[in-house]
Amino acid sequence: MSRKLVVGVSGNLTRPSKTKAFVSHIVGEVAHSTGAASTVFDIEDLGPSFPLARRIGDLDPSARNIVEQFLGADVLVVGSPTFKGSYTGLFKHFFDLLDPSSLRGKPVILAATGGGERHSLIVEHQLRPLFGFFEALTMPTAIYASDKDFANGVLGSEAIQARARQAVAEACRVVGVPDRIGVAA
């Protein structure tokens, strides 16, 4: 049996990025709980061929490799910073390149970051419909973190960490792996 793979993608272009740190935190929890290998990338990692690509075949080999890892993952963790009430444009462009059936049934944990609480519904009003289009299996618990939930770029809020653990436990049940972090659902 091959080892499971958890892949995270952050829709942020800036580095360092709270969104990428947030996605990495969740990916680490899923990987630890499932014994899976893991990788996290952000939109910047797709390189110079990405913005002008109209299909996956237009990407350079490095970017295509990222897409292949993403599509081959057993669990996905996707996150975007909130930009004008929604996910970033290049984050959406990434998903525009994918075949509509490519994520069917794939377990996905949704996450987002933003400057304040007023953007917290991005996960329900923007991300969940996007993955509904792909017929992905989004976890019931989505996670939003605002600037106040981070200290020096690291997730510090226990309430947000608890929500992340809840989403991780849901993903573990979906992939048939007992939750190893001991969180009751």
Q: Do the Cβ atoms of 99 and 109 come closer than 8 Å?
A: no
| Structural domain boundaries enclosing 19 | 5-174
Neighbours of 94 (CB within 10 A): 21
> Residue length, the chain?
185
CATH number of the domain that residue 9 is part of: 3.40.50.360
Which contacts qualify for 115-121: CB closer than 8 Å, 24 or more apart? Answer: 115/82, 115/146, 115/147, 116/146, 116/147, 116/148, 117/146, 119/82, 119/85, 119/144, 119/146, 120/144, 120/146
In a domain, 182, yes or no: no
In a domain, 48, yes or no: yes
List beta partners, residue 138.
108
Residue 181: predicted pLDDT: 54
In a domain, 154, yes or no: yes
pTM above threshold 0.85: yes
Report the distance separating Cα 164 and Cα 79, nearest Å: 12
In a domain, 87, yes or no: yes
Residue 13: predicted pLDDT: 83
In a domain, 89, yes or no: yes
Number of folded domains that form the chain? 1
Residue 8: predicted pLDDT: 98
Encoded tokens for 149: 């939930």
pLDDT mean for each 10 residues of the chain (185 residues): 87 89 95 95 96 97 97 97 90 96 98 86 93 97 92 86 95 80 46
